[in-house]
C-alpha cells in the first residue's frame, strides 16, 4: 500500500508543541537511492524461486549470491535489505502471496525484464526502460515531477 495514514493524538507533544489531532501523511517519498542493477538481480532471485521465499530467505539468498553485499563483501544491514524488498513490491515487480514473494506476471514491464536474463552485469537498455517506467509512474512521482504546478 503506497499511502500510510497515522492518527496523531492531541495529548502527545513534539518539541514542546502539541500535535494537532489530524491525519498525517507518512512516507510520501518512499523510494530511496538504490542500485537498480542490484534490484534487478534481487528480482531474478525471486523469479528463480517464484512463490517460495519469505523475506528472511530472500535476504539470506541475496547475500549468499553476492547481490546485497558491499564492495568489501560484507552483507548489507537489515534496513537496506528491507528497502530493496519494499521497492520490488512498490514497483509491482513482485507481490506477496501468503508472505512469500511471487513475480507479478500480469505486469507488462515485468515481462520485458523476464525476457532479458542478465544477472550481475550492467543494466541493458531493454532493462532500464521498464524500470524507469515503473519508477516514474508511481503516484508520488507523477504528482511531484510530472504534473504542472
Let me know if residue 10 belongs to a domain: no
Q: Which of 25-29, 59-63, 105-109 has the highest mean pLDDT?
A: 59-63
Structural domain total, the chain = 1
Q: What pLDDT, on a 0 to 100 scale, did the predictor assign at position 143?
A: 57
- What's residue 119's pLDDT? 87
Residue 71 has pLDDT above 60, yes or no: yes
Residue 4 located in a structural domain: no
**In the beta sheet, which residues pair with residue 96?**
101
Range of the domain at 68: 36-119
Residue 5 lies in a domain: no
Mean pLDDT of 111-140: 83
CATH of the domain at 100: 1.10.460.10
Q: Within a domain: residue 142? A: no
Looking at the domain assignment, is residue 111 inside a domain? yes
Query: Is 20 part of any domain?
Result: no
Lowest mean pLDDT across 7-16, 101-110, 119-128: 7-16
Q: What are φ and ψ of residue 36, in 5° steps?
A: -70, -20
CA distance 29 to 27: 6
Whole-number pLDDT of residue 142 = 56
Amino acid at each position: 500500500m503506497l499511502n500510510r495514514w497515522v492518527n496523531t493524538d492531541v495529548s502527545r507533544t513534539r518539541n514542546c508543541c502539541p500535535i494537532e489531532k489530524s491525519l498525517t501523511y507518512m512516507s510520501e517519498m518512499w523510494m530511496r537511492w538504490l542500485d537498480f542493477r542490484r534490484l534487478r538481480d534481487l528480482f531474478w532471485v525471486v523469479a528463480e524461486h517464484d512463490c517460495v521465499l519469505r523475506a528472511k530467505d530472500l535476504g539470506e539468498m541475496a547475500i549468499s549470491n553476492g547481490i546485497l553485499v558491499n564492495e568489501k563483501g560484507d552483507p548489507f544491514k537489515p534496513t537496506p535489505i528491507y528497502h530493496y524488498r519494499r521497492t520490488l513490491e512498490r514497483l509491482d515487480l513482485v507481490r506477496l502471496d501468503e508472505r512469500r514473494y511471487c513475480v507479478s506476471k500480469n505486469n507488462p514491464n515485468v515481462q520485458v525484464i523476464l525476457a532479458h536474463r542478465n544477472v550481475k552485469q550492467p543494466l541493458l537498455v531493454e532493462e532500464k526502460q521498464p524500470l524507469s517506467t515503473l519508477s516514474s509512474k508511481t503516484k508520488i512521482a507523477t504528482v511531484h515531477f510530472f504534473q504542472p504546478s
